[in-house]
Structures are given as structure tokens and as C-alpha cells.
Structure 1
């Protein structure tokens, strides 16, 4: 797919890929998330995302949702550490309607007091539900431990006490500071010409007043490994062990993605799955993950187990990490690993919704997107020496943070 980019006079950027399909995908990404919140604003980004659906200057909450739903489309949103994304899936004939409602929600939401108060109840319920789910909660506890006293450690949902104090003024002040036009992307993948997408974008986004960002995100931080055990009335133990990793701009980012995939990626033949689950049957699920942000990355291994297997699994994990540090991959192993991660990426890109979201994120971070062929070439150049060197740097057994949610049963 050929990629087209354009910048409006207010510095909102557009990225579009034209495809021949009846279904199209479009979204607006704001380079602002939970890490941009002050201490008394924790949870505000997510709270705003919810309230973007609650009425605009032209429509009340019912008509906002039904603007796309009534023609069979879907509209959704998410809040992450560094971005907020509102996006839609719809038939190709409804591009004008879709960009209109997305732009209304982002730039002309009215935040009625009644709706704000209702959404506080909804989010309190969401927080309670999250606390009842240790497989979700442990990831936030881990990030909070690794990024202690840094905005990246802040829980996206926030807490009950602060959310109760949010109001329209709180919301508008945050939007004014963080919804900057030079940090906003309209991303599209669909059956429409570049000329037409620019025309519609100018119509609904071109009149938004320019509001450039004039502040930088805090970066000062010192990682200190921790061991934390929480107790909960659950049947299984949940555990994550890991530490900091390359950030999104680090030259080793792609190499670490490959290393992580070999160690505990989604395939059954990952080293951790073979050495822990398949060989011993100690756990139903074990996986490693890698999230990279603009200034730091985080990596870890997550598993569940009965109490009698917990320490055995931790010892097997450490043994596997040491092995990856000491033993270099052979030619066949590195070739298999390269092919595997490229195949996963190609399959991921078969979803045009994934492509649309990924394009937005890449424009936010790099102001460009790479083709699959460009990424494939970079993967082909990753060497076994580079993988081993990175394993030796990151897989320091004495520098790992461990979080355990321990069963009290």
C-alpha cells in the first residue's frame, strides 16, 4: 500500500493508505496519555476518553454513539501511557460522517455535568472490576514498581479519591495543555483517494485553532529493582519478573523485540514455553512481553502457577536467561527466529485496523512509517552476536524486579 501524508495549517497531520475494500478504518490519535498527568490528575486521561462520548456542541450522548452505529459502523477508544486514540470502522461511503463525528468528539465535546457524574460511577466500577482480576492488576503493579516515582508508573485508571474531584474545568484545563494540534494525527486506511481525504479533513479539522506543545515530558529516572509480594484470596499465584529495556528510539529496539520473541513470544516453540510448560507442566501459561515508550522500555515474564511450583518456575526462568546470555544462537536458530517474527508482523498487518492504529503511532513518534519490506530488511541484518550482547545487558539476574500476587488459599 502506498502511504500518503499531509499537514494542515494548524499542524494536525494526516496519514492515509488507499485500499480497495468496502470497509474503511479511521481514527484520531493524541500524543497524550496517563504519563502526562500531574499528581492530582491521575486517571484524568482515561476519564476524558470516556467523556468524549457524552455529547458535543451539535449532539447529545445518544446521537454521538448512534452517528455511526445506525449505519452499521463501530466507534471505540482507548487510553494508554503515552496516547489517547478514538477510532472507527465503517463502510467506505461514510468517510465524511466518520471524520465529522471523530473531530466533534475530540474538539467540540461539551462535558455535561450530569454525564460527568454518571461516568464517575462507571469508572469506579471499572476500577473495582480491574482489582478483581489479578491477571490485569499485576501488570500495573509491575510497571509501578519498575517506574517508581516516574509518570510511566502511573495507573491509567487512576483512583476513586481523585476521580471524585474531576469536573469540567479539570477536563478543559488538561485538554488545553495536552491536546496540542502538532501532536495529533488523523490516520486512515480505506477506499478513498488522498485528495478526498484531505478535502474532508480540511472541512472538519482545518478550522481547529493551532495549539502547539510548549512543554517536555519528564525523563529523569533511576531504576531500582524490587521484590514485592501481595496476598489475595485467589486460587493461583500470579508472577511477573523483569526490568527496564530499550526505548522506542533505541537502535536495539527491533533486536530486543526479536530476543523477546525467542524467549517467550506467542508461539508454542518459545524457549520458556518449551522449558517450563511442555517439559514439566508447571504452568498453563507463561509468556514474556516488551513495551517500549519514548524514553524507557519495560520487559517482563508473566506466569501463573500453584504455590508448590512457584519457586521451581522462577529457577527455570533464571536458568533460561543465563543460557541466553552464555550461548549464542546458531545460524539455523537465528534464521528461524528472523522468519518467525517477520511472519507474525505480516499477519498482524493483514488487519487494516491494526495498520491504521500502527500508522498513527509511528507518525506520532517518528513522523513516518516503514514498509514491511523495510522492516524485513532490518530483521535480516540482526546478528546472533547482537542478540547475545543485548541479553547480557538486560538479563541481569541481580537487577530483576519481581512481583507476586500470592494465593492465600
Structure 2
């Protein structure tokens, strides 16, 4: 059995999968992230995620943090550019307690300024930690350039000076504007019936008043290809070669995902890992990733190396891109790439928590979730010509960013 769905009267949608397990996972996924911040609010979506744990009308901050942990469970949250997710893992018998706590956090948080002052310091430390990792920071800089002029073009954490300004009133205003019930999904997986889960959701989420999003996200304007070098005095050089790509609503995202996985996915036999690392010993870390957003996306090929190996690495990467654009895969290579991609998807779905979060996001964006069998069929019918055409379109013009 795959996922079953339901909708509460206030517009919050639910999606559930029943599996045989003593452990249950659930999450409230809200379609509000850093992309929905105004220019004066950069970093506020992530700050709000932290603020949710600082106390509610029913609980002090320490009670929020201990509620599930005392039962052996877990409570956490994360923010992306398009979503904020509060999620929990408990024993099946404690599922209702987890749902109640998530609802309490999402809808009854009080955002006390005394607690928020402490959290400002925590986030400032998080920002400093991030700045100390050029391998992570370069991705943000690249997206700043790739989506320049749009709300996708700034990092999630924000700047310390801005964080210092945000108080409870700012958080409440942001939540009221962006955390609307028509952009919420309660996703769950565990050994409970969908009927039982829907009853729990109705009890804890159903009293929340109906609210609707009053603004639209704007698709980022196109930007010209760029080549930038940033001096950061790192021991290695860090480089990203990438470009704009398809969004979540574009059916061509599947052949692109397969192509990027073949090019620089997690397997040791990816094209770039073989040619750059295994055959030439030029880089310890080289990878390719595809990040789709609602209406656009980006592909990023990252590597780090000794400065003297930089140009050779770039040459080899561009050679592989050109080959994908001009030479269709053999039937054997295509078959292997499909089997690898499908197996990786299947293995990733062995994590019930990951499966639950992925399904929730898919339901939020598409209002449906493809079964694994449907995904497998879509992958199986992809042709070498489709991949070549995708490579030609996506990698026709690329941009480049270097940290040195």
C-alpha cells in the first residue's frame, strides 16, 4: 500500500502510509522558506524555525525540548529556500503526543523576546561555523549569482546584523503572512491506519483557522553566464561549474536527474569521479547535484583540488559535458545508469523518515505522490536521445565560480 490522503476543513492536507513498524514519523511541512522573505527579512524564515522551540502558550522552552525526548523520541526542524519543516520520531504508541507537540509549536508559539535573545547568539555561531566551511559556502555564493535579483538569490541563514534586529513581533508578522493553512501538509508514516491518523490530525490541527497565501512567488529573471573568482585564502581551490535548470513542475526534471546522477552522483563509478579522481588523481572530492525549486532549478558540479590542478580539472569536466551533449549513451551504458538510479531511489526509500518527508513535499507541490512503481516506469522509458537533448539544452552555457 502506498500513501493515502485526506484534507482538513481548514485546508491543511494530510498524507499517510501505513507500514509494519514500532516507530512512527510525522512532520508538518509548510510552504514557506527564505524565498518568501522580503528584502528587510533575510534570514527571518530560519530564525522563525528556531523561535518555534522557545515556548508556547502551553509549554516553556525546556518543556518543548523534553516532551518527546523523555519518551525516547526526537523533535527537530529545518528550513530550506521554499519550506519550513517540523518533524518528529516516536514509538507508535506516542504518535498522538508527537502530533500534538508539532501543532502546539506551529500554532501556539509565543516567541518570547528573552528566549529569542539567546537564540540570536546561537544562530550567529551557526553563521560563523558555516563561514568556516568554504565547501558549503561556495554553494550559497553560486546561487546568489545564478539567481541574482530574485529572492532565491540569498542564503538561508541571513546576516548577523539582520538577525540581531528580529524580535517576537517580526516573527509573528512573518508567520501570519507566510504560514498559511493552504500551504501546509501533515505527512506521516507508521503502523496506524489513515483513518486513525486523520482523526489525530483533526483533533490537533483542525482548530487552526483557515488562511490563504496572498502573494505569489516570482520566477527569477534570466542571468547571463558568468565566471567569477573570489579570494578567500583557502588551502585548496574550490570550484563550481553550473547553470539554471528545470523546476519541479517540469516533466524534464527526471531525465535531468538521471543525467546528473550519471555525471557526478554518489557512486564511485560516476563519470566525473572516474575521470578526475580515479584516472588522474586530481581531486579527492568531486560531485554533481541538481536542485529543483517550484519554477526553476540549478545544476552544480563541485570539486576541490590543489591550485595547480584547477585548470586540468575544469578541462576534464567540460570534456565530459561536451560528450554528453554530442554522443548518445550506448544501450548498455543507458541500462546500467537506469538500474543504478532506480536502485539508489529504492535504497533511499528504506528510510521511513526520508520517505515520509519526500512524500510530504511532493504532496505539497504536486498534490500527489508517484508510487515507486510509477517512478520506475518513467525512468525505464527514457531514451539516450532524451538525455542527449537534455544535456545539450542544460549544459549549452554554463557559469563558473572559484574560491581560492
TM class, shorter-length? over 0.9
Asked if the contact 1:145–1:401 (Cα under 8 Å) also holds between the matched residues in 2, the reply is: no
What is the match of residue 95 of structure 2? 95
1:92 and 1:191 in contact (8 A); partners too? yes
Residue aligned with 1:81, SS = coil
Is the 8 Å Cα contact of residues 73 and 90 (structure 1) preserved in structure 2? yes
Displacement of 1:194 in angstroms is: 1.3
Determine if contact 2:248/2:294 at 8 Å carries over to the other structure: yes
- Any residues of structure 2 matched to 1:18-29 within 5 Å, and which? 18-29=18-29
* Residues 346-385 of structure 1 aligned to structure 2 (within 5 Å): 346-385=346-385
8 Å Cα contact 2:2/2:371 also seen in 1 = no
Q: Residues of 1 paired with 2:259 and 2:321: CA distance? A: 11
Q: CA deviation at 1:214?
A: 2.2
**2: CA distance, partners of 1:48 / 1:220:** 24
Please name the residue that 2:205 is paired with: 205
The whole-number CA distance in structure 2 between the counterparts of 1:105 and 1:224 is 43
Which whole-Å deviations, capped at 9, do the CAs of 1:81-135 have from their partners, x for residues lacking one? 1000010111000011100000000010000111111111111111111111101
- 1:220: Cα distance to partner? 4.5
Q: Distance in 1 between matches of 2:218 and 2:117?
A: 32
What SS does the corresponding residue of 1:153 show, helix, strand or coil? Answer: coil
Report the 3-state secondary structure (helix = DSSP H, G, I; strand = E; otherwise coil) of the residue aligned with 1:363: helix
Per-residue deviation at 1:233?
A: 3.0
Partner of 1:223: 223
Matches within 5 A, 1:8-407: 8-396=8-396, 399-406=397-404
Aligned partner of residue 298 in structure 2, secondary structure: strand
- Measure the CA separation in 2 of the matches of 1:248 and 1:113: 38
SS at match of 2:11: coil
* Counterpart-to-counterpart distance in 1, 2:48 and 2:108: 13
Aligned Cα root-mean-square deviation (Å): 0.8
Q: Distance in 1 between matches of 2:219 and 2:248?
A: 14
Cα distance in 2, alignment partners of residues 191 and 181 from structure 1? 26
Distance in 2 separating the partners of 1:229 and 1:115: 40
| Cα displacement string for residues 327-355 of structure 1 (whole angstroms, at most 9, x for unaligned residues) | 11111111111111000000000000011
Distance 1:299 1:24 in 2: 34
Q: Normalising by structure 1, what TM-score? A: 0.98
Unaligned runs of 5+ in 1: none
Shift of 1:180: 0.6
List alignment gaps of at least 5 residues for structure 2. Answer: none
Contact 1:52–1:109 under 8 Å retained in 2: yes
CA contact (8 A) 2:247 2:253 kept: yes
**Quick one: distance in 2 between partners of 1:249 and 1:168?**
35
**Range with bigger deviation, 188-197 or 341-350:** 188-197
> Secondary structure of 1:151's partner?
coil
Q: Is the Cα contact below 8 Å between 1:29 and 1:85 reproduced in 2?
A: yes
What is the aligned residue count? 404
Q: Distance in 1 between matches of 2:206 and 2:264?
A: 45
Structure-2 separation of matches of 1:140 and 1:281:
27
- State how far apart, in whole Å, the 2-side matches of 1:73 and 1:122 are: 23
- Distance (Å, rounded) in 1 between the aligned partners of 2:156 and 2:191: 35
Aligned-partner Cα distance in 1 for 2:191–2:61: 29
Asked whether the equivalents of residues 328 and 384 of structure 2 are also in contact (C-alpha less than 8 Å), the reply is yes
SS of equivalent to 2:49: helix
